[in-house]
Structure 1
Amino acid sequence: MPPVEKDAGKKELKSRIQELIDSNQVMVFSKSYCPFCVKVKDLFKELNVDCNVMELDLMENGTNYQEMLLEMTGQKTVPQVFINKTHVGGCDKTLQAHKDGSLQSLLKGENEAFEYDLIVIGGGSGGLSCSKEAASLGKKVMVLDYVVPTPKGTTWGLGGTCVNVGCIPKKLMHQAALLGSAMEDARKFGWEFDESVKHNWETMKTAVNNYIGSLNWGYRVSLRDKNVNYVNAYAEFVEPHKIKATNKRGKETFHTAARFVLATGERPRYLGVPGDQEYCITSDDLFSLPYCPGKTLIVGASYVALECGGFLAGLGLDVTIMVRSILLRGFDQDMANRAGEYMEEHGVKFIRKHVPIKIEELEAGTPGRLKVTSKSTESDEVVEGEYNTVLIAVGRNACTDKIGLDKAGVKVNPKNGKIPVNDEEQTNVPHIYAIGDILEGKWELTPVAIQAGKLLARRLYAGAAVKCDYINVPTTVFTPMEYGACGLSEEKATEFYGQDNIEVYHSLFWPLEFTVPGRDNNKCYSKIICNKLDNDRVIGFHYLGPNAGEVTQGFGAAMKCGVTKEQLDGTIGIHPTCAEVLTTLDVTKSSGGDITKAGC
């Protein structure tokens, strides 16, 4: 065939294919014997959707059609599915589109000109992770992040709670407190210094905040480099595919997207008593507080309460913690109480079974003076106390109540604002997903949000199938004596498997670093919980001692691999370290045997 005729024939074929695509709501190019084509045709039958099917293997010039489709779509194989003139793709992509709701949108003709492929609401760890990954996969992505100021007027930059008012400043201030202890130990190791040692809050606060500022800037640069459109504005749904964005000057813009990811995180809860919002601070305010807080009352027994109380005491402040019921709810109670006892032995005062009923200002200042009236949870006893600062750390609320989720049809747990999702982080509205701290029944941890966000983007846009694993997530509470954990608490293990089917191996220990200064002999503690029904597999790991995060991370990997007691026993420890105690555990809790350590 002469080149001119051949070109004309191709042009005509392309035009014929385009006409089929344009004139049918659903057009499927198929082969009658292909199992993937059968799957797709069956799906449309189930959905009661009429589709025009062209079986290329039953046509004389079917090969030409397939070659032209390759030229038009870049896809070699069949089926090739088109809905309302949009090329969906092959079998996997059609099934995925059905799963995530975009197929239904296309069938309704809702594919018209969404401004973005993905809008992420929330610029914390999860939102940033998801948005950057989606953008790197070639999608048009917007991130909206807006920090509503605290009642004290505190606000911060891009990066979410962890970077600005959570893990990062917390760990740095915890480190400042550890350095105070290290200086006390240093004299016993031969270091001589005569000048009086004191801590300067302003120096620490400025250094910590300067570092956080560098992280905020780094995130902005990273989003720009990935071509993610970052907007500092408050996002609120007005329709299922449309949001309103309001910036700090009150200017409103509207944006649409095919999909949304909710990553709004949480903010500290207040007490709901007179004076709480007027006179108290939360962890949202503490890390950039422009003055030393002085004598401090911390209300709550969460990890935030104990961590903040611990490092403030370590900086030399007078600290009292008011506890309503138990320490570290949700964590192993044996470990929680040991961490609390250590704090009490090192100068932190505890008021137990009490709740504040009123906070009054006696004197304004930086800090001022406050009067706190509290009531016993067990009697009519009322106690009054004076403090310079009151820090509330009684838990956090999901930031989901003011983003128009009702207009998008997203179901929320009315009790706590958390969002139920399936195992792919999908809400009840197929094109809206949620990750991070706002998820119902999932870990409220930064690395979890990062992992979930990245894997979600890969499933949505790279055809991946890997889901976030929320089991055996290692974590650490940075109390003065750090507590690392992975897997089940002793209470949960007993509840799941029964007391007779678990074995707890435990030991006290004395870090070598503590021996010369002569402190905290046998105050550190570790235990593992094993499942007797499954080859003594380790189902709970708990460690109270120095560098708990570093120790727990490695054992977390071992638990991910299904480590057993026998394998731990077969592991040679590194001497002299704290972590080696986990390789030599031989006393069971049930035996009542002595677990104190004497020497190496």
Structure 2
Amino acid sequence: MKMKAPFLPPMSLGLRCLKNVGTTRIESSLLYSTTTAQKYDLVVIGGGSGGLACAKEAAGYGAKVAVLDYVTPSPHGTVWGLGGTCVNVGCIPKKLMHQAALLGKSVKDAAAFGWSVPPAELQLNWHQLVTAVTNHVGSLNWGHRVALRDKRVTYLNASGTMLDRHTVLAKDRKDVETVLQTDNVVLATGGRPRYPTFAGAELAITSDDLFRLRQPPGRTLCVGGSYVSLECAGFLTGLGFDTSVLLRSIPLRGFDQQMAGLVVSAMENLGTRVVRGSEPLRLERTAAGRLRVSLTPSGDGQPPDEEYDTVLLAVGRDPDTRRLGLDALGVTTDRRSGKIVTDPGNRTSVDNIYAIGDIVQGAPELTPTAIVSGRLLADRLYGGSSQLLDLATVPTTVFTPLEYSCVGLSEESAAEMVGGDDQLEVYHAFYRPLEFIIPGRDTSSCYIKAVCERREPQRVLGLHFIGPNAGEVLQGFAVAMRHGMTMESLRQAIGIHPTSAEEVVKLNISKRSGRDPTVTGC
């Protein structure tokens, strides 16, 4: 049987960059003595969801494309493969561990439905869980490499620095350098967790490390009110670990705050401890190997010092742009966030350099928007398209134990947009998922609301859902929102019975009415 030659990215073996006046030569002890720098139509720096989508789409139009991807190890030495945050240390491992926690809860519920489930036999094997998750992530890493090969995209496992607007210097882990000449550049390097400045912060881990911990995390403190913090705290609690969340101010900043409060309340009811109004002062390792955390006074009786096995920092993310050489090129960034400023077409202040994904100022830090943004950019560059990304109705889900999904505006943002609360009509309902009733699960946070313009035809500005499978419930409604869904069109839809989703189309009680929004009956 004839064997296929292995896929070797051009100029990725033993190459050293030598600069001459006016030209660039590449010297290689393995391939050729000298050769000129490779020329590309497009170089994408960053192999996450957005960068890969852009590269593959551009290659589909016949463009010659290279992708550079390099992961700087976390302070604890964690690295990963091609695919970016979502695949490796974000959406995918998070959802799998969330599912593991839900399964544990379901097994406990099973007894109420007649199953014989000895509680003593219900134990988590952390090593087995982490192995299963990392094996799946590894398969995705390989799948991305194969997809690039099939599209004839050059892949370099190297960091990229802009030498000038048309020249990219790639450097791999062994400091082997490769020079690429290109017409266009797309920056898609994503973000990395932010480390606060308190003493001993380097002893803590972040979400970059959590999904690859070799040992169970034990008693854990999650610092921050971000969705990352709440999601991690939620599944760790569900997996049986004593877990606390430290909130300096509000949870889920940028989300609807009524919904955020219900999410946190549901977590507390499921066993996660929430410490409010405090932040770390100092972190130090004890003689026994634990982490002693000193906190600012919280006013709620929280001890000033407590010991944990693991402290996870989730206080925000910063754009991973420091090594790109943006200042020398004059690429404009936002002073406060450090993110890259672009026009609606993703063009930066340098007209052949583009940016997509989490590093773009004002862009949602969401995988699906990065993917669509990357594809649309390639369509505009090489396919003659003029279509721009529409961010008006982007849905998202927070995968806390009781999931929260939303599309459109929060109640606060909607009120600001229309000129005050009196210009809104908010329809809402507390409901009881059928599957929660027999095992006696708490349903006090199962809640839906539609934030609408008060004037007819009462266009829905924001739709919010807390409950099981929230993302699955709201995905279809997001399509309707894009097409101007009104309360009348929502009510005309026929529900699927018995589901939690049908409660959305049955919404009929407004906050303004003062009536009890609790759903009764089936």
Question: TM-score, normalized by length of structure 2?
Answer: 0.91
1:568 and 2:484 aligned: no
User: Mapping of 1:301-316 within 5 angstroms?
Assistant: 301-316=225-240
Q: CA deviation at 1:378?
A: 7.8
Residue 445 of structure 2 is aligned with which of 512, 523, 547?
Answer: 523
Q: Which residue of 2 aligns with 1:535?
A: 457
Residue 238 of structure 1 is aligned with which of 145, 163, 178?
Answer: 163
Residue 501 of structure 1 is aligned with which of 423, 428, 438?
Answer: 423
- Normalized per residue, the structure richer in helix is 1
3-state SS in 1 of match to 2:100 = helix
Residue 583 of structure 1 is aligned with which of 496, 505, 516?
Answer: 505
Q: Which residue of 1 aligns with 2:206?
A: 282
3-state SS in 2 of match to 1:260 = strand
3-state SS in 2 of match to 1:416 = coil
Q: CA deviation at 1:590?
A: 1.6
3-state SS in 2 of match to 1:533 = coil
Question: Which of structures 1 and 2 has the bigger CA Rg?
Answer: 1
Q: CA deviation at 1:521?
A: 3.6
Cα separation, 2, equivalents of 1:381 and 1:307 = 23
1:388 and 2:313 aligned: no
Query: Residues 38 and 179 of structure 2 are in contact (CA less than 8 Å); yes or no, is this contact kept in structure 1?
Result: no
Q: CA deviation at 1:114?
A: 7.4
| CA-to-aligned-CA distance 1:362-382 (integer Å, 9 cap, x gap) | 146xxx411000113789998
Cα separation, 2, equivalents of 1:215 and 1:521 = 36
- Matched to 1:444, the amino acid is E
Identity %: 53
3-state SS in 1 of match to 2:181 = strand
| CA-to-aligned-CA distance 1:122-155 (integer Å, 9 cap, x gap) | 0000000000010111011000000000000000
| CA-to-aligned-CA distance 1:351-370 (integer Å, 9 cap, x gap) | 11101011000146xxx411
Is 526-535 or 210-219 further displaced after alignment?
Answer: 526-535
Q: Which stretches of structure 1, 4 residues or longer, exceed 3 Å deviation after superposition?
A: 376-382
3-state SS in 1 of match to 2:41 = strand
Query: Residues 275 and 302 of structure 2 are in contact (CA less than 8 Å); yes or no, is this contact kept in structure 1?
Result: no
3-state SS in 2 of match to 1:223 = helix
Cα separation, 1, equivalents of 2:504 and 2:513 = 18
Q: Which residue of 1 aligns with 2:479?
A: 557
| CA-to-aligned-CA distance 1:283-303 (integer Å, 9 cap, x gap) | 000011111000000100000
User: Mapping of 1:96-495 within 5 angstroms?
Assistant: 115-194=39-118, 196-277=121-202, 279-363=203-287, 368-376=289-297, 383-495=304-416
Aligned length: 485
| CA-to-aligned-CA distance 1:452-478 (integer Å, 9 cap, x gap) | 000100110010111111111000000
Cα separation, 2, equivalents of 1:597 and 1:558 = 24
3-state SS in 1 of match to 2:218 = coil
Cα separation, 1, equivalents of 2:276 and 2:443 = 27
Provide the alpha-carbon RMSD of the alignment.
1.6
Query: Residues 522 and 597 of structure 1 are in contact (CA less than 8 Å); yes or no, is this contact kept in structure 2?
Result: no
Q: CA deviation at 1:414?
A: 2.3
Cα separation, 1, equivalents of 2:241 and 2:302 = 27
3-state SS in 2 of match to 1:354 = coil
If asked which structure has higher relative contact order (CA below 8 Å, sep 6+), I would say: 2
Cα 1:379–1:341 change in 2 (3 A) is: closer
Residue 597 of structure 1 is aligned with which of 512, 519, 522?
Answer: 519
Q: Which residue of 2 aligns with 1:93?
A: none
| CA-to-aligned-CA distance 1:14-61 (integer Å, 9 cap, x gap) | xxxxxxxxxxxxxxxxxxxxxxxxxxxxxxxxxxxxxxxxxxxxxxxx
- Matched to 1:376, the amino acid is P
Is 157-166 or 411-420 further displaced after alignment?
Answer: 411-420
Cα separation, 2, equivalents of 1:512 and 1:522 = 14
3-state SS in 1 of match to 2:179 = strand
Query: Residues 269 and 442 of structure 2 are in contact (CA less than 8 Å); yes or no, is this contact kept in structure 1?
Result: no
Gaps of 5+ in 1: 1-111
3-state SS in 2 of match to 1:311 = helix
3-state SS in 2 of match to 1:539 = strand
- Matched to 1:351, the amino acid is V
3-state SS in 2 of match to 1:214 = helix
Cα 1:377–1:114 change in 2 (3 A) is: farther
Cα separation, 1, equivalents of 2:346 and 2:465 = 31
Is 185-194 or 204-213 further displaced after alignment?
Answer: 185-194
Cα 1:382–1:522 change in 2 (3 A) is: closer
Q: Which residue of 2 aligns with 1:42?
A: none
Q: CA deviation at 1:406?
A: 1.5
Cα separation, 1, equivalents of 2:301 and 2:221 = 21
Query: Residues 165 and 284 of structure 1 are in contact (CA less than 8 Å); yes or no, is this contact kept in structure 2?
Result: yes
3-state SS in 1 of match to 2:251 = coil
